Amino acid sequence: MGISNVKIYIHIANNDIYFLFLYHMPLIEFTDKGLYCPQGKFYIDPWRPVDKAIITHAHSDHAKAGSAHYFCHTLTKPLLLSRLGPHTIQDSAWGVPHHINGVQVSLHPSGHIIGAAQIRVEYKGEIWVCSGDYKTENDGISGAFEPINCHTFITESTFGLPIYNWLPQHSIYESMRQWVLKNIAQQKNAILLAYSLGKAQRVLEALAPLDIPIWVHGAIWNMHESLSNAGVALPLVQRITPEHTKSNFKNAIILAPPGADGSSWIKKFTPYQLAVCSGWMQVRANQRRNNADIGFALSDHADWNGLLQAIKATSAEKIFVTHGFQAVFSKYLKDQGLEAEEVVTAYGQEEEASKTISE
Amino acid sequence: MKAFATLIEQLSTTTKTAEKVEALYQYFKVANDRDKVWAIALFTGRRPRRTISSTLLKTWCADYCNLPLWLLEECRHTVGDLSETIALLIPVQSDIIYTSSPLHVYIEKLISLSSANEAEKKAYMLQCWQQLNSSTERFVFNKLMSGAFRIGVSQQLLIQALSKFAQMEASFIAHCITGKWDPSLISFHELINVSAPSADVSKPYPFCLAYPIESGLDKLGDSANWLAEWKWDGIRGQLIKRKDTAFLWSRGEELITEKFPELNQLFTYLPNGIVLDGEIVAAIHDKPLPFSLLQTRIGRKHISKKILSDAPVRFFAYDILEYRGEDIRQYSLENRRKILESLVTSLNVHTLFISPSISFTHWQELKQIHLQSRANSAEGFMLKKKKSPYYMGRKKGDWWKWKVDPYTIDAVLIYAQKGSGRRGNLYTDFTFAVKDGDKLVPFAKAYSGLTNAEIAQVDAFVKRNAVEKFGPVRTVKPELVFELAFEGIHLSSRHKCGIAVRFPRIYRWRKDKKPEEINTLADLKALL
Ligand SMILES: [Zn+2]
Ligand SMILES: [Zn+2]
């Protein structure tokens, strides 16, 4: 153990009592395989196969196949099985303390997508929280983000710039419904591109009240099935198969993942209008680049103010910033007098490189 | 402002031209006449001058939003546009809904503020920021205020929409909105009415433009139906003489009459009621000089004697659109050219030449002559059908440009910058270097030429391999090799490597090549 790993935490419990903790290693280290807890001997969202992996949520940049043992929230388990194939998975409800090699671990809702968890890690009185991906606005499906007091908070920063400020969900939903109705009135199909896990289910919630037939791409259908089987109540949808032809789609709503745009698959819905649902749509250039007729800045991540509020609510003394605008966001936090540091992870990379609009 | 903002939103999101025309048409239906005039002015590049510098705009926005200036800069690099960045940063006042005024109210107020002091400007800006509800309205306002309104809609679409709205021929509309007019002074009825007494004698015709030739020459049919001319490397210009006054327009609809004093004699001798289309070329007699010499004159206020002797200009005429006050654009090219030839011959002015037609008997022969383009100081050929009228704007079929192959050189990517506008947020503006011994010498910037998929790959490479984390420029490991194409090359003292290239662009990505295999500065200089 090198001397560089020694850290001193001064914790003020009340006005006149000072506790001094001396640690020889941080509770969570940033390794080339992912976030690692040396005392508990487990990884959080590792991007290479390991022995024990705690998974925050089932998005592909956080949940990689090949590890020996997985641990995640109960609602994430069916999604992991569907995405990664058969693996050994232990699941847990919210807030239940588990002890792994003497380290206490519990899962708390992050509000990102269904089953998405923040990981709370406690060892000898020191508490770290790894946010995974999170959203502070309660979307009504994913569970409400729970602020947790901790010493060290590892936060994402996907939308860590002040230009990203979301409108309230109900007003985005309302614009989406208006847009769909306008298209139906013009005898056009309304295609909405939304990430198949998380975003797609929210778009469904938004549009179900319209009582217009909703068709979904196979990738979204798979997620829909897994969630329905796990007991999540979702609106009724129909699966699009190769047997369906143009004549099946008249004045309908089509839900597809972002990769579908520009493919020949989309042609059978002509005439149509295309919407992209993603926080990146906040910026006009992204809308145009995706050849969308309209963009809805609907995100599963916290916006700028959401990030700042979440960080404040943890009362953390030290913030590690990952996943997104980490350099800029950590610099801003430092400007504000917080102890912050950027950490480069593999999260977001794969999606960002292949498709600018996914999250 | 709300209707105009909606229009801007529709224009920037839809990719279909029919929908763009419809959006414009719907706008003209609801907008009042003053707003119509200003909308036409904005879409034809007649934007008001900036009221506030972008530096002030940034400072005031940072203050207002309580953000550090560096963070605002980072946002701008991501968004790619300052007006949009500010529109997104301003917190929305959701409690009070204001009704915005019509477009012209903002523009006219901004114009009236141009001589006001900073405090007055700032007060008006803050008031608008608070009262404009949607981010698109704030975006348009910021664009107007910073004199940066450049939202593109092609002239053709604007003309189609106006033609549908005013129920007039498109060619008539095109003529009306071309040339010199001041949106502050003209009414919508005066604008769309060329025969009105106030009609401007300087009014040019829309230029006829050609597409690059796509297929083999054989597809053009019998070569006897075609006229071939050298494509000159100069400034396309329309020369007008009406009521004893001459006007020279550039293709960008800029009046450049004063810039070329050596043409004064031509202006004087030219009879009234004449409009010529041609090329302003730096030339000794009828022998063109490199474009770089002409370039040294552009943008200069004072034309010195030295410039006049180093780079004297001539007008190479290739078409005549108006003769004896009559619009003859519907005449066939053959007939127009006959009129032009007799006019040029009878005038006998040493600064006016007819752009010669190339005599050839079959396509194969023309291909041979094409190889001599560079030796003739030309960029290639223009091919025009002898029976063709003078079209308005860009039209496929009767006119083609057939350029010489560009110069190419293999270079390595060394710096990247985020693009603006359409490509904001992606690294798309690149600087390339060639080898000079064991050093790398930057020599060209290029913005275009990659497919969207390639752009995404290069962008990912830059994000992984960048040295800097802040600011607009990223230095990357010299690893990716590209073949660059460019049109011309000349010595330049303003460039570090001593050389400047014209219209550099990415020809293709040479994934098969290693950085050691790129061309050298000596290779580049050999092209001079
Ligand atoms: Zn995620
Ligand atoms: Zn993520």
Q: What is the pLDDT of residues A205-254, one digit of tens each?
A: 999 999 999 999 999 999 999 999 988 999 999 999 988 888 889 999 99
Instruction: Evaluate if residue A336 carries a pLDDT over 60.
Output: yes
What whole-number distance in Å separates Cα of residue B224 and Cα of residue A22? Answer: 93
**Between these two residues, A347 and B315, which has the higher pLDDT value?**
B315
Query: Does position A68 have pLDDT exceeding 80, yes or no?
Result: yes
Percent of chain B topping pLDDT 90? 58
Q: How far is the CA of A314 from the centre of ligand 1 (A)?
A: 21
pLDDT band at A24 (very low <50, low <70, confident <90, very high): low
B367: annotated active-site residue: no
Q: Does the pLDDT value for residue B420 go beyond 70?
A: no
pLDDT at residue A339 greater than cutoff 90: yes
Judge whether B411 and B404 are in contact, CB under 8 Å.
Answer: no
pLDDT at A21 over 50: no
Q: Are A284 and B84 an interchain contact pair (Cβ–Cβ within 8 Å)?
A: yes
Contacts of A328 in chain B (CB under 8 A): 71, 74, 469-470
Q: What are phi and psi of B234, to 5 degrees?
A: -145, -145
pLDDT band of B405, cuts 50, 70, 90: confident
Residue B461: is its pLDDT beyond 70?
A: yes
The fold for domain B407-525 equals OB fold (Dihydrolipoamide Acetyltransferase, E2P) (2.40.50)
The average pLDDT across B511-525 equals 92
Contacts of B423 in chain A (CB under 8 A): 285, 289
CATH 3.30.470.30 assigned to B208-403 = yes
Residue among A132, A111, A112 at smallest CA distance from A120: A132
pLDDT at position B106? 95
Q: How would residue B199 be classed by pLDDT, with cut points 50, 70 and 90?
A: low
CA dist B192 → A24, B154, B308 (Å): 81, 18, 40
Question: How confident is the prediction for chain B on average, in pLDDT?
Answer: 89
From the list B231, B384, B385, B435, the catalytic residue is B231
Contact B184, B41 (CB under 8 A): no
pLDDT bin (cut points 50, 70, 90) of residue B150 is confident
Span B2-145: which CATH code? 1.10.3260.10
What would the mean pLDDT of A344-351 be, rounded to a whole number? 60
Tell me, what's the pLDDT at B80?
Answer: 84
Give the pLDDT band of residue A70 (cuts 50, 70, 90): very high
For ligand 2, the distance from its centroid to the CA atom of residue A323, given in whole angstroms, is 7
Residue B270 has pLDDT above 60, yes or no: yes
pLDDT at B322: 96
Residue A348 CA to ligand 1 center (angstroms) comes to 8
Phi and psi for B483 in degrees, rounded to 5? -90, 120
DSSP reduced 3-state for B201: coil
Residues of chain B with CATH 1.10.3260.10: 2-145
What pLDDT, on a 0 to 100 scale, did the predictor assign at position B195? 62
Q: How much is the average pLDDT of B138-167?
A: 90
User: Taking each helix axis from N to C terminus, what angle separates A326-335 and B69-79, rounded to the nearest 10 degrees?
Assistant: 160
The nearest alpha carbon in chain B to A345 belongs to B464
Mean pLDDT in residue range B353-370:
92
Is the pLDDT at B162 greater than 70, yes or no? yes
Q: Which pLDDT tens digit goes with each residue over A188-218?
A: 999 999 999 999 999 999 999 999 999 999 9
Whole-number Cα distances in Å, A177 to A33, A205, A258, A275, A293: 43, 11, 20, 12, 15
The residue-averaged pLDDT of B192-206 equals: 74
Residue A11 has a pLDDT of 45
Mean pLDDT (chain A) is 88
Express each pLDDT in B464-493 by its tens digit: 888 887 777 889 999 999 999 998 888 888
Report the alpha-carbon distance of residue A204 to residue A278 in Å, rounded. 14
The model carries a pTM of 0.81
What are the structure tokens assigned to B69, written together? 């200036």
Taking the CA of A352 as reference, the closest ligand is: 2
The residue-averaged pLDDT of B275-281 equals 96
Polymer length of chain A: 359
pLDDT for A7 equals 43
Rounded mean pLDDT, A174-185: 96
User: What pLDDT does A8 receive?
Assistant: 45
pLDDT at B424 over 70: no
Task: List all residues of chain B from 83 to 112 with a beta carbon under 8 Å from chain A.
Answer: 84-85, 88-89, 91
Q: How many CB pairs under 8 A join A and B?
A: 78
- For residue A348, pLDDT over 70 is answered with no
- B470 and chain A in contact, CB less than 8 A: yes
Tell me the nearest-neighbour CA distance from B78 into chain A, angstroms: 9
Domains of chain A: 2-163+300-353 (3.60.15.10), 169-296 (3.40.50.10890)
CATH 3.30.470.30 boundaries in chain B: 208-403
What integer pLDDT is reported at residue B400 of this predicted model?
Answer: 95
Residues of A whose CB is below 8 A from B469 = 327-328
**How far apart are alpha carbons A238 and A242 in whole angstroms?**
13
- Say yes or no for a CB contact (<8 Å) between A292 and B78: no
The per-residue pLDDT for range B75-117, each reduced to its tens digit, is 998 888 899 999 999 987 666 778 889 999 999 999 999 899 9
Residues B17-67: pLDDT tens digits? 899 999 999 999 999 999 999 999 999 888 888 899 999 999 999 999 999
Confidence class for position B168, pLDDT limits 50, 70, 90: confident
Query: Cα–Cα distance between A154 and A121 in angstroms, integer?
Result: 11
Q: Give start-end residues of each CATH 2.40.50.140 domain in chain B.
A: 407-525
Cis, bond preceding A271 (omega within 30 deg of 0): yes
What ipTM was reported for this prediction?
A: 0.88
Q: Is the dihedral of CA B489, B492, B497, B500 positive or negative?
A: negative
Residue to substitute from B8, B75, B86, B139, interface A, most A β-carbons within 10 A? B75
Q: Which ligand is nearest to the CA of A57?
A: 1
Calculate Rg over the CA atoms of chain A: 21
Pair of tokens at residue A230: 């796990």
A286/B75 Cβ within 8 A: no
Give the residue carrying structure tokens 């916290």: A302
Q: Determine the average pLDDT of the residues in B232-255.
A: 89
